[in-house]
Chain A
Amino acid sequence: MLIEEDTVPEPNSDLAVETSDLVKHFGDTRAVDGVDLKVPSGTVFGILGPNGAGKTTVVRMLATLLIPDAGHARVLGHDVVREADAVRSRVSLTGQFASVDEDLTGLENLILLARLLGISKTRSRERAAELLDAFGLEDAADRQVKKYSGGMRRRIDIAASILATPDVLFLDEPTTGLDPRSRNQVWDIVRVLVAGGTTVLLTTQYLDEADQLANRIAVVDHGKVIAEGTSGELKASVGSGAVHVRLRDAGQRPEAERVLTERLGTEVYLEHDPVALTARSADAGRVSGAISELTASGIAVAEFSLGQPSLDEVFLALTGHPAEENDEETEEAA
């Protein structure tokens, strides 16, 4: 026991979630293979990775639905295995699939869950009505959830998760399968939740979602964290920014490639688009020099832009394969 105590890391009060060397097997597959995470309180933390990377498994362990095979995880200072009930009383999980009863109406679902949390009968009704209103679902209150659209299901699901305001909210792929407008609504809800003081840990396979919402991002592949940081840090870790140039005349591209290679001193990529070129460079002075040189050499530049690499490029650089490559691998949904 004493020896075991030694290996348990000291809880850190500024961290909402802290894991060390977390492992979970499913048969022969190491779904989660030694994950270390530190999620500061009051922030949005994104776990980014393709299908089958182990994102859902991590979240299910943190929400006390799965018992880790090895390693430790603390949520708000409580061990997820030994103090599971203490964790459950302060966190909520919105899963990949609607985690409300589809046969019941939206109102009944919220009242049912409020009652299960120990909220009184009258207060449960008030609270349910309040949340339906806040999520724009008051017209659908008396309709069965199975008749809801995808976006409405997500919203009732999130509403069910905040009946008693959680200190930590786990959102497992909150926008998978949603149309762009519903996705924006969910993003707005997440922003308001964080403004209200809740820590949000979300998983996503959408790079722009992590970019939009998360303060910090852990990139996960094959059960391991392969990179962690702010979106800016991740982009910087891949290298400098990029300059994108578009020409008027595709015939001038070989000449433009030569000029850019010479002036920037880096490799220049020829894109699919026959008038487009991309090169890595963070030095604005050199870039403007190179553009002037192009014009001086009689090459007509239609447009150019300086920007950071996209998270897609980050993923490719970190893993050697694009994020969407192994879509056929199914996430362990059971």
Chain B
Amino acid sequence: MSTHSASTHVHNGTPAVDEKLLAALSTRERPTRPNPVQVSLTFGWRALLKIKHVPEQLFDVTMFPIMFTLMFTYLFGGALAGSPREYIQDLLPGILVLTVAMITMYTGLGINKDINKGVFDRFRSLPIWRPAVLVGALFGDVLRYTLASIIVIGLGLLLGFRPDGGALGVVAAVALLLVFAFSLSWVWTALGFLMRTEESLMAVSMMILFPLTFISNVFVDPSTMPGWLQAFVDVNPITHLSSASRGLMHGDVDTSQIGWVLLACVVFVAVFGPLTMRLFRKKE
């Protein structure tokens, strides 16, 4: 067994180990409590280490966007806009929003896994600013969202997407999307605490995400939809985000759309942030 050498070492060298241990314990220094930013960054470092050790987790953020962009461009392009190339001008900003919104749910899965293992108890028993556990994890997630955005836009450019708003417009659209994704993630952190198993969490997340992303203006013009469906589309934050994203990328943004998106962000954080922290404290 691979553990053999280490174990024998302790066993044979018991007095030496005791001395080392006593020496290690003799340092009764009490470190000063770190500030919230330091702690959040440390948890961000943990997220990076996890990506390093489990690179498979990037599979979702790379394959999902590629699959979605290719599939919907060629599936709907000819029928809806005459050609895939014309369709992608309108679709790409929307499909970017959709894919990133979809992968935000992995935030909840990460939290849920942590809770089901003992490591969460360790974090909870430390004298730290508690939201940092989640904020740090979200830092790591923002990295994943950025990666997914780069993949979608890169692929779009190859397929003939030409943003009139230039690089600046695209960067602004991605920045707005990242703010939205960070805010939406708090919904999943709250659910991550509420749901007992990974499977049930996945099921509930899907049930929220599918209508939220598909019943929007990402794929088609809502004007052909029945009135009651249009009503939902009009209040769906994904609709506003996708409109704002199109506007920014093509250089004709309606600032009120950005306003609506930011308002939705504030609501998500204001409602689900405190709810998450409450669940965090009460977790048994």
CB <8 Å contact, A91 and B7: no
**A63 adjacent to chain B (CB < 8 Å):** yes
Minimum CB–CB distance from A207 to chain B (whole Å) comes to 24
Q: B127 → chain A, closest Cβ, in Å? A: 4
Residues of A in contact (CB 8 Å), total: 65
Nearest chain B residue, comparing its CB with the CB of A189: B21
- A108 sits at the interface (CB 8 A): yes
* Residues in A202-219 with C-beta less than 8 Å from chain B: none
**A92 contacts which chain B residues (CB < 8 A)?**
125
- Per-position 1/0 for A274-289, Cβ under 8 A of B: 0000000000000000
- Chain B residues whose CB sits within 8 angstroms of the CB of A101 once the complex forms: 46, 50, 117, 119
- The interface residues of chain B lying within 8 Å CB-to-CB of A119 are 31
Q: Which segment, of B22-30, B84-92, B265-273, faces chain A?
A: B22-30
- The segment from B11-19, B160-168, B179-187, B234-242 found at the interface with A is B11-19
**Residue from A63, A134, A160 within 8 A of B20 (CB atoms):** A134
Majority secondary structure of chain B interface residues (helix, strand, loop or mixed): helix
Write out the residue numbers on chain A whose beta carbons fall within 8 Å of the beta carbon of B125. 63-65, 88, 91-93
- Interface residue B42 (Cβ < 8 Å from any Cβ of A): yes
Residue contact B122 to A88, C-beta cutoff 8 Å:
no
CB distance from A34 to the nearest CB of B (A): 19
The CB with the most chain A CB atoms within 10 A, among B3, B26, B128, is that of: B3
Other-chain residue from B26, B30, B49, B128 in contact with A104 (beta carbon distance below 8 A): B49
A12 and B195 CA atoms in complex are apart in Å by 41
Tell me which residues across on chain B come within 8 A of A192, comparing CB atoms.
Answer: 18, 21-22, 25
Q: How far is the CA of A140 from the CA of B14 in the complex (A)?
A: 18
Min C-beta distance of A8 to chain B, whole Å = 22
Q: Does residue B224 face the partner (Cβ distance < 8 Å to A)?
A: no
Contact B33 A98 (CB under 8 A): no
| Most chain A CB within a 10 A radius of its CB, from B17, B31, B42, B46 | B31
Binds B, one of A45-53, A146-154, A220-228, A313-321: A146-154
- The reply to whether B119 and A26 form a contact with Cβ atoms under 8 Å apart is no
Q: Is A269 an interface residue (CB 8 A)?
A: no
Tell me if B254 is interfacial: C-beta within 8 Å of chain A: no
Q: Which of A104, A127, A139 is the one whose CB lies under 8 Å from B46?
A: A104
User: Do A185 and B25 touch (CB < 8 A)?
Assistant: no
> How far, in angstroms, from A252 to B38 measured CA to CA in the complex?
78
Do A136 and B17 touch (CB < 8 A)?
yes
Known: A112-B45, A149-B3, A196-B26. A164 touches B122 (CB 8 A): no
6 interchain pairs, CB-CB under 8 A: A65-B125, A88-B126, A91-B125, A97-B117, A103-B53, A151-B3
Beyond A117-B31, A162-B25: 6 further Cβ-contacts under 8 Å? A98-B119, A104-B49, A115-B38, A118-B33, A138-B6, A334-B284
Binding site for B on A (CB under 8 A): 26, 60, 63-67, 85, 88-89, 91-93, 95-105, 108, 112-113, 115-119, 127, 130-131, 133-140, 144, 147-149, 151-152, 160, 162, 164-165, 181-182, 185, 188-189, 192-193, 195-198, 334
